[in-house]
């Protein structure tokens, strides 16, 4: 009975409340749009860097769906790139995507995936640790292909790239090159949502990577550095894919104030060096909104006002900047950015499985924070760090099958 009561309390405290909706998309100079197969719909294209792939500016992140019918509907509406990972739903998301695409002409869609298998990641410092095994990494990469039921993927991503040393880690670079030489991926990329400017520049400098997938949205406080790094990578021919475009989906933990996701995505795509976006899509309404909004990038005055909410007191509730300034302030040296990312997945996106996996990666223990009467961390975004850790810590002990 005690376990059941814990679960009820967990539910009652809001972690399973309904999450926010998806995004939108549009047209600027340097873009191309044309009629899609579906009557009355427009698809806007940009070229994904030196790959030469002309791709719709709205692609689909599949991590929040287990519905093959949604994938088929996206195809019918003109979506071409589907971004998944072994990390999503413990590989089951790849299986779902493979099932949905089975029998569809292989040259009519693009698949992006990744794995963390064999990687020993120091998330806190943005580095790969000793013990990283390129052979194990390649075995997991092969597993991605098997689950997807394809002979190759179009883009294979090195996830959680951060410091330059991580991006240039030679054993993994050689493993990725081998994977490409074997014809198992057409292009290689990195995924980054910490130390992003450094990771983006490093990827462009390796001569190995073709793609950068980076967290990018109107709420980031390092936009000057981000834009400079993106410009640099684009000038080197890198394809740029934006993720985390919703910036948490809600302003508040209680989900009473949704972010204007249409305006948020328009803002992202006003940067012509963003070649496509991968908003997570979990239902047909979100998908229809994403595709139908593709023909107009111009922000209305009301949408501009909505985005300025980031400058008031609501901004400090869910979205973590991942700046890392908190780590040196914490007496226990907790990986606070990763913990806060887990908090965002849970309370902003309602993706509890992903939130739990991220929390496990942070190595947060039940007794952490117990010795501090008051938190010594002064968050640049104004977070009550100790309170947020106490909130999300409950997720550690919830069984995965209950989350699913």
Domain limits of the chain? 32-306, 320-403
Q: What is the pLDDT of residue 316?
A: 55
What mean pLDDT value characterizes the chain?
Answer: 85
* Alpha-carbon span 385 to 382, nearest angstrom: 9
Q: Single out the residue of 351, 350, 281 nearest to residue 75, CA to CA.
A: 281
* Alpha-carbon span 348 to 308, nearest angstrom: 19
Residue 151 burial by Cβ neighbours in a 10 Å radius (0-12, 13-18, 19+): exposed
Angle (CA) 127-324-131 rounded to 5° is: 20
**Does position 94 have pLDDT exceeding 70, yes or no?**
yes
Q: What is the pLDDT of residue 389?
A: 85
* Alpha-carbon span 137 to 172, nearest angstrom: 8
Q: What is the pLDDT of residue 113?
A: 98
Q: What are phi and psi of 211, to 5 degrees?
A: -130, 145
Q: Are 222 and 321 in contact (CB under 8 A)?
A: yes
Q: What are phi and psi of 142, to 5 degrees?
A: -60, -35
Beta bridge partners of 34: 43
Choose the weakest-confidence range: 21-25, 74-78, 190-194, 348-352: 21-25
- Confidence band, pLDDT 50/70/90 cuts, at residue 236: very high
* Alpha-carbon span 154 to 148, nearest angstrom: 12
- Domain 32-306 matching CATH 3.30.70.360: the answer reads no
Q: Single out the residue of 92, 142, 97, 151 nearest to residue 115, CA to CA.
A: 142
For tokens 């972690």, the residue is: 15
Q: Single out the residue of 229, 245, 242 nearest to residue 276, CA to CA.
A: 242
Q: What is the pLDDT of residue 404?
A: 60
Q: What is the pLDDT of residue 41?
A: 66
Report helix angle 352-361 to 385-393, nearest 10.
Answer: 110
The whole-number average pLDDT for the span 73-85 is 96
* Alpha-carbon span 45 to 32, nearest angstrom: 5
What value does the CA radius of gyration of the chain take, rounded to a whole number of Å?
20
Reduced to 3 states, what is the DSSP secondary structure of residue 66? coil
* Alpha-carbon span 173 to 189, nearest angstrom: 11
**Does position 312 have pLDDT exceeding 60, yes or no?**
no
Q: Are 219 and 315 in contact (CB under 8 A)?
A: yes
**Does position 83 have pLDDT exceeding 80, yes or no?**
yes
The whole-number average pLDDT for the span 201-210 is 98
Give the predicted TM-score (pTM) of the model. 0.82
Residue 74 in tokens = 């996206």
Residues 275-299: tens digit of each pLDDT: 999 998 888 988 888 887 787 888 9
* Cα dist from 58 to 45, 219, 221, whole Å: 9, 20, 24
Reduced to 3 states, what is the DSSP secondary structure of residue 268? helix
């Amino acid at each position: 009975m005690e376990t059941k009561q814990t679960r009820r309390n967990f539910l009652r405290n809001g972690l399973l409340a309904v999450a926010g909706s998806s995004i939108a998309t549009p047209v600027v100079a340097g873009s191309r749009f044309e009629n899609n197969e579906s009557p009355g719909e427009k698809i806007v294209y940009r070229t994904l860097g030196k790959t030469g792939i002309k791709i719709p500016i709205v692609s689909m992140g599949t991590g929040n769906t287990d519905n093959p019918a949604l994938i088929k509907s996206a195809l019918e509406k003109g979506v071409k790139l589907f971004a998944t990972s072994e990390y999503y739903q413990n590989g089951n998301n790849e299986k779902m995507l493979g099932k949905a695409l089975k029998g569809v002409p292989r040259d009519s869609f693009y698949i992006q995936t990744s794995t963390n298998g064999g990687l020993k990641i120091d998330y806190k410092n943005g580095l790969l640790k000793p013990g990283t095994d390129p052979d194990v990494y390649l075995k997991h990469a092969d597993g991605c292909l098997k689950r997807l039921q394809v002979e190759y993927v179009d883009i294979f991503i090195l996830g959680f790239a951060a410091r330059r040393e991580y991006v240039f880690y030679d054993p993994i670079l050689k493993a990725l090159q081998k994977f490409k030489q074997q014809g198992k991926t057409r292009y290689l990329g990195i995924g980054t949502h910490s130390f992003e400017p450094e990771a983006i520049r490093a990827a462009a400098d390796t001569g190995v990577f073709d793609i950068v997938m980076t967290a990018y949205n109107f709420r980031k406080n390092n936009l000057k550095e981000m834009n400079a790094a993106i410009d640099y990578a684009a000038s080197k021919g890198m394809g740029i894919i934006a993720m985390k475009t919703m910036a948490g989906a809600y302003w508040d933990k209680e989900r009473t104030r949704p972010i204007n996701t249409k305006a948020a995505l328009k803002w992202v795509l006003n940067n012509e060096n963003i070649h496509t976006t991968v908003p997570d899509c979990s239902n047909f309404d979100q998908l229809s909104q994403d595709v139908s909004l593709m023909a107009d990038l111009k922000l209305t005055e009301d949408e501009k006002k909505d985005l300025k909410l980031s400058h008031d007191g609501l901004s400090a509730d869910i979205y973590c900047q991942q700046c890392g300034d908190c780590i040196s302030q914490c007496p226990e040296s907790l990986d606070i950015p990763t913990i806060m990312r887990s908090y965002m997945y849970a309370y902003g996106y309602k993706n509890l499985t992903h939130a739990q996996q991220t929390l496990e990666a942070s190595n947060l223990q039940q007794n952490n924070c117990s010795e501090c009467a008051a938190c010594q961390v002064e968050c640049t975004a104004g977070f009550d760090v100790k309170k947020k850790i106490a909130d999300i810590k409950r997720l550690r002990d919830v069984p995965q099958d209950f989350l699913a």
